[in-house]
Chain A
């Protein structure tokens, strides 16, 4: 909505200065001085007259070319009469400051909004516009608040639309971090001490100390990342190495050992650790007496990248070193551990790992999928593992990968989604309870 400025009012009454000048010189050219006597604001009249091509200057004489088309005056008249004019003309007049926007008072704005809002509803008009008022289920605007007109809004007729996801504006932890923290809490509340170890590990700690024979298929190139640079590790304390070697080669009287020639060169080969059980092995060698430890960290498998496989994942490992613990304690820890993780039903199946006996594969019941799913592995470390490392007590151990339970829980089919590509939309919106 526009109104005429003072200048606009004046021109509407007297005519535009450039046209008045043109009329003045229509019959014959006049000098500037003469013109100034008849036309006030001569400089404006000259400028617009020249711009519109109504007149021209010859020396100090003003010479007539044509009359103004009167368009601007007609538009000014329209506005004066309270009629609408087109955007282009309005802009021209605005630039020339002949008209100005009417500052609608807040009551009027509020009223207009109210009418708009109620009409859209009552007329049953399908809302297609992207107006923020249209999309709001509670369209109370600052104007409506100030005037108190908000009371007139019929909120009942507005459908409440709950968006599927909250659109977080803030930053957020990665879903993997959330789960690592959950696992840490569980272990800490069960009295476990957190331990850590290197990502690059010697074959000695990754395999040999865990009584994995040197020709074990897991040690083959296809599954394990060996290193080119650096390629060899230092071996630990000689006594430990000697005892491990003896256990592999011929046992210790109680055990027959694997019965082959053990090579320290193979044990020195560096690998990217294939499990955090390597960290547990290091801990066994350090621990005298009892203790409970856990480790959460990245492990590596020589895989190609696809939706199911990544060459890295996060592994969780827990060990309990304690006098007189046995199989039932192991099952008890597992049951409690998985219960705290949210799995009420757990069952245990026989399994095989080269470094445990009474090897167990825990299975948890997935309510959503109505099926049992294996989750991790567990067992009691073989004496062939614990004795060379100087441990006197039985050692309960279990481990699991972190990504699989997350994928199961959220029905994520593509592991790349949260590691590798870090789909920012997914990370921002995924709902974790």
Chain B
């Protein structure tokens, strides 16, 4: 979840209007930006992943200016040629293949502008940029270096420069080891033998993407002319990110200039700030939305979301990244129309169908409750210790997770008795006798199934008290089976979790389906339960 913070007066300057409480709390969130925090002079809004253009305060302001009908003109961004050239070396293709650049002239960093730029950069890195893996942005003082620039991959120890926030020259490997940003993002370059680098004519380092810029091109409050590089693994995302940055800077008064990228024989200029077109089928929109809208109304609604509309074509601004299908346009029409203005259509009552298994589940559950047992609900996730070791068993044949955040959740349970024992051990301060049951799922390995596993419905019940009787639970089992109309028999068995003399298999439909037994006191000790426990467990499916 991305939340951007802005100074209220900065937003108001950009929007060109004093924002009322209603605007801030009621209207703006309806564009799809929930208000996350508010103080006297700062506002925090959540920005959804489909609107990275709103990750910059300038882009956010632009969007709400349209949304609040404060501006009727479109956002066309003009560019001119900066005369700057960047050569893309083939060596970089296997390391970090895409780059897009721009020059910004005559920007003046007053007030919140530089803070806002840094926030935009950071938020894009985290979201669209997938923690810099997919996209990383470098912003430089172009006056400190001399074009043409070169984007290439080099051996890590061959080049040394002073990275931002450091005082001495380091080679690339040292940066990954010593610089905070290097340590944080080193994983992106894992396994690469060469690292990407942007240098100028005199081999001065602008940037070591996606890790860190050089100290040389640091942007300060008095910097006016910028060079921007965006590198990454996805061409579309790289261009979108650049467009978001340059349009934001243009909204602050900067002038956008293109850079010529030379890739072998091919030349192209970035940024490309053209509106893309997508066809809109008005009848499709009308049908999905169920509102009476004609072309004229649609044009107004689209304008409110920053689009242009001409003859069945919607023109998408270059900083919008999310439009894949006309349905995306339809959604924006709905937002412009206002979710609050749609009249919900009441559904009809019909009768549905429940799962076959459901009736049996209900019967089992109700029977146990009638027999005086309290239902409990436990996690499916557990660990080897609870499922096997404490029960006196060796871990075997179970579903194991790869990346658990906690040692409590490393495997999926098969059995429910350990879950019940856990409940007892957590409820020692509560009144006895404790009679509990759980009807839930265990996950079993099954090579034949699509997922390699099968969920099985399991019932377990247990009684704990100062004095227990095996016979009491035998009677419960008998009553349960009678209610369920199941003929079953018991057969003596031996199991490390249970007392040998008080341990029987439950057999029905010709198969061993479960066990009824007194828990082995050694097991109880491991669960730190002091009172005896008698339990049964039945596998239903």
Contact = CB atoms under 8 A, between A and B. Distances in A.
Interface stretch (B4-12, B293-301, B340-348, B511-519): B340-348
Interface stretch (B140-148, B208-216, B244-252, B403-411): B403-411
B37 interface: no
A359 B49 CA distance: 13
Contact of B325 (A298, A334, A384, A424): A384
Interface string B373-410: 11111111100000000000000001111111110110
Contacts of A195: 355
Which of B354, B402, B449, B454 counts the most chain A CB atoms within 10 A?
A: B402
Contact of A171 (B127, B371, B401): B371
Given A202-B451, A227-B401, A420 B379 contact: yes
B334 interface: yes
Which of B50, B127, B434 counts the most chain A CB atoms within 10 A?
A: B50
A422 B455 contact: no
A83 to B, nearest CB: 42
B358 interface: yes
B406 A305 contact: yes
A24 interface: no
A170 B370 CA distance: 7
B401 A424 contact: no
Interface string A313-331: 0000000000010111101
A328 B345 contact: yes
Contacts of A259: 234, 236
B450 A384 contact: no
B264 interface: no
Given A171-B435, A328-B343, A428-B374, A383 B327 contact: yes
Interface string A199-234: 111100000000000010100011001111111111
B115 interface: no
Interface stretch (A84-92, A109-117, A128-136, A347-355): A347-355
A272 B412 contact: yes
A305 B288 contact: no
Contacts of B331: 357-359
Contacts of A11: none
A201 B357 CA distance: 20
B436 A424 contact: yes
Interface residues of B, number: 92
A302 to B, nearest CB: 5
Given A176-B377, A260-B234, A357-B330, A170 B372 contact: yes
A350 B412 contact: no
Contacts of A169: 372
B350 interface: yes
B357 to A, nearest CB: 8
A348 B431 CA distance: 46
Nearest to B410: A228
Contacts of A336: 346-347
Which of B34, B345, B349 counts the most chain A CB atoms within 10 A?
A: B345
B15 interface: no
Given A311-B381, A394-B288, A357 B328 contact: yes
A270 to B, nearest CB: 6
B377 A174 contact: yes
A228 B347 contact: no
A37 to B, nearest CB: 57
Contacts of A311: 379, 381, 405-406, 409
Contact of A326 (B133, B289, B347, B401): B289
Given A326-B287, A326-B290, A217 B130 contact: yes
B46 to A, nearest CB: 10
B275 to A, nearest CB: 15
A416 B287 CA distance: 46
B443 A200 contact: yes
A305 B346 CA distance: 40
A194 B378 contact: no
B87 interface: no
B427 A331 contact: no
B299 to A, nearest CB: 20
A173 interface: yes
Contacts of B343: 328
Contacts of A335: 344, 346
A398 interface: no
B380 A199 contact: yes
A329 B289 CA distance: 9
A381 to B, nearest CB: 10
B314 interface: no
Given A199-B443, A255-B325, A300 B381 contact: yes
Interface residues of A, number: 98
Contacts of A148: none
A262 interface: no
Interface in A345-369: 347-352, 354, 357-361
Interface stretch (B25-33, B71-79, B116-124): B25-33
A270 B452 contact: yes
A9 interface: no
Contacts of B288: 326-327, 358, 380, 394
A312 interface: yes
Contacts of A312: 379-381
Interface string A47-68: 0000000000000000000000
B365 interface: yes
A298 B372 contact: no
A225 B48 CA distance: 24
B353 interface: yes
Contact of B427 (A305, A328, A394, A422): A422
B292 interface: no
Contacts of B325: 251, 254-256, 357, 382-384
A2 interface: no
A31 interface: no
A329 B290 CA distance: 9
A31 B398 CA distance: 89
Contacts of B370: 170-171
Interface in B445-475: 445, 449-455
Contacts of B183: none
B441 to A, nearest CB: 7
A357 B327 contact: yes
A384 B323 CA distance: 12
B352 A191 contact: yes
A427 interface: yes
Interface stretch (A118-126, A157-165, A181-189): A181-189
A421 to B, nearest CB: 4
Contact of B401 (A225, A298, A354, A380): A225
B426 A331 contact: no
A425 interface: yes
A184 B362 CA distance: 12
B222 to A, nearest CB: 37
B349 A199 contact: no
Contacts of B339: 331, 348-350, 360
A375 B441 CA distance: 27
B48 A198 contact: no
A343 interface: no
Nearest to A202: B451
Contacts of A258: 324
Interface in B300-346: 324-328, 330-331, 334-335, 339-340, 342-346
Q: Which 7 A-B pairs have the closest CB atoms?
A: A191-B350, A350-B32, A352-B48, A230-B452, A331-B344, A332-B345, A188-B352
14 contacts: A177-B377, A221-B403, A227-B402, A230-B452, A255-B324, A255-B325, A352-B48, A358-B289, A383-B327, A423-B427, A424-B376, A424-B423, A424-B436, A425-B430
Interface of B: 29-32, 34, 48-51, 127, 130, 133-134, 234, 236, 287-290, 324-328, 330-331, 334-335, 339-340, 342-355, 357-358, 365, 368-381, 398-406, 408-409, 412, 423, 426-427, 430-431, 434-437, 441, 443, 445, 449-455
Given A192-B352, A227-B400, A332-B346, 7 more contacts: A172-B375, A198-B454, A200-B453, A229-B400, A233-B452, A251-B325, A326-B290
